[in-house]
Structure 1
């Protein structure tokens, strides 16, 4: 792979709504220097924006239909990026975009590090909010929406034992806590993440042993006092230095194949505090590829 080329895949959607809520985040980050940060070490940048057909606003189409179509489009964009020898960086609104990104990697034994204030491990039968984006990790690991997934994506779900959930501290409902406790997902608290050691150990012990890692960063893993990322921001999270150090450690120790930054709603970001943190993360990717 040409380590001096990045494909920036822009997904400006919250669920199926374009440039609404967290769907405003990707282009705001681009306007604040995201592409320049990736190019800071001399890399070539290729950009592609996901565009959802207007047919998904028609009668008879639902939220899940649009979400899975976005996953399919992201999977195709990541697959093309990999075939072209570039490193995919997904700037996404909703977190479920990562399901498509992992599918598009065509990795033999993918591992996923899922940074998020929320587990995204709800399922339709138990969720009390009904919010589709609270189910992304469930879709990824095979416990929700698998019939629709099978008709949309070309890759199977990944084992729970191939996932590290990092920094989750805010839960949709009690059933989500019980599901996580019964799962094989490795969970690391923010206290576990103050240094990279436990994260490196956890990724090194994924099962099956990973042939390539996708790093998903929902920016609300940041402490709410550090930056107000979206409406679901929570206290007790990471600061920018900690998150950047963790990403650098993953890039230095494992075969990271792609990175997603997601869930940033500029309307909640008083003082525009998120972009410098995100740009620093992207610069770290550029410097360690």
Structure 2
């Protein structure tokens, strides 16, 4: 690939319940992200990090939704709006935006920016559904809500800063689910999204599932946003995440999935934006998870053995 990639750090930990993901962008860069990407033949520019005040300086309940609870909603909105502009600007300049989290609430901004002036679909590589709302979330942590926000579900229907994506449920594919809250599970089953659990991957094979996810997300749209939460991998492979869940994909499976994405992108030019989230260096071992994130970004962007 010869496309230019613009790296955008979003060091937010407002959406999570464990501190440390704000250091994720630095850890991924330190793991050799730029070198990994440039090995694909792409060039890189680094836009630096968004200015994100520390959570200790803010009141988590200063801005409340109409019902339910969403902690640090005001701060999440500020990050999302700034990131959306950065992502949209990168696309307008002909670059592929690569957002580095931070917790998964940054996906709200990534999606809004990617969908500005275009219809997009989304592939969600994640152990979790991220389909809670302020009304259903047991914790009020917004990193469990970005898909619901982008789709304008429940209390997010009146939050244009979050739902200005035009995203349709039928263009959303979740891959690798294995941990859902009860209400979230019911809502996903009632939705028009397509959810592939780890059991589906075991039964049908990873590449079959990934191909179907790409077909779903890309059908009738101008591009695809890919969101990769590092807790998609098994904790033995990626220990540095805030919400690990046993039974995830292996190192080789993760690379195979992203390599298939790159192959399809090479043929159809479908990748519009990409993000890596939930790397927590405090919980990591010798920066293993950040190194994994950098390597997987390269695989998604076309790095090959031969």
TM over 0.5: yes
User: Is 1:190–1:237's contact at 8 Å kept on the other side of the alignment?
Assistant: yes
CA distance change for structure 1 residues 93 and 58 in 2, over 3 Å: closer, same or farther?
Answer: closer
Q: How many residue pairs align between the two structures? A: 285
Aligned to 1:122: 132
Q: Does structure 1 conserve the Cα–Cα contact (< 8 Å) formed by 2:120 and 2:224?
A: yes
Q: Which position in structure 1 is the counterpart of 2:88?
A: 79
- CA gap 1:252/1:126 in 2 versus in 1, 3 angstroms: same
The secondary structure found in structure 1 opposite 2:302 is helix
The alpha-carbon deviation at position 282 of structure 1 amounts to 2.2
Gaps of 5+ in 2: 64-71
Report the CA distance between 1:154 and its aligned residue. Answer: 8.4
Contact 1:56 1:65 in 2 (8 A): no
Tell me if structure 2 keeps the 8 A contact 1:161–1:207: no
- For 1:47, the equivalent position in structure 2 comes to 46
> How far off its partner does 1:149 sit?
2.8
Q: CA deviation at 1:213?
A: 0.7
2:278 is aligned with 1:260: no
1:1-289 maps to which residues of 2 (within 5 A)? Answer: 3-15=2-14, 20-48=19-47, 49-52=49-52, 57=57, 61-62=62-63, 63-105=72-114, 106=116, 108-146=118-156, 149-150=159-160, 152=161, 155-171=164-180, 173-193=181-201, 194-206=205-217, 209-254=220-265, 255-287=270-302
TM-score (norm 1): 0.89
Q: Give every structure 1 segment of 4 or more consecutive aligned residues whose post-TM-superposition deviation is greater than 6 Å.
A: 53-56
What CA deviation, in whole Å up to 9, does each residue of 1:57-104 have, x standing for no partner? 466844101101111111100111111111111111111212211221
Distance 1:262 1:253, change over 3 A: same
Q: Is the 8 A contact 1:95 1:263 kept in 2?
A: yes
CA RMSD of aligned residues (A): 2.7
Question: Is 2:171–2:219's contact at 8 Å kept on the other side of the alignment?
Answer: yes
Distance of 2:58 and 2:253 partners within structure 1: 44
Q: Residues 129, 154 of structure 1: CA spacing in aligned structure 2 closer, same or farther, 3 A cutoff? A: closer
* Contact 2:123 2:213 (8 Å CA) reproduced: no
* Corresponding residue SS for 2:104: coil
Secondary structure of 2:200's aligned partner: helix
Partner Cα separation in structure 1 for residue 131 and residue 45 of structure 2: 32
Q: Residues of 2 paired with 1:37 and 1:207: CA distance?
A: 26
Residue 55 to residue 186, structure 1, CA distance change in 2 (3 Å): closer
Superposed displacement of residue 184, structure 1: 1.0
**How far apart, in 2, do the equivalents of 1:125 and 1:200 lie?**
34
CA distance in 2, matches of 1:278, 1:124: 29
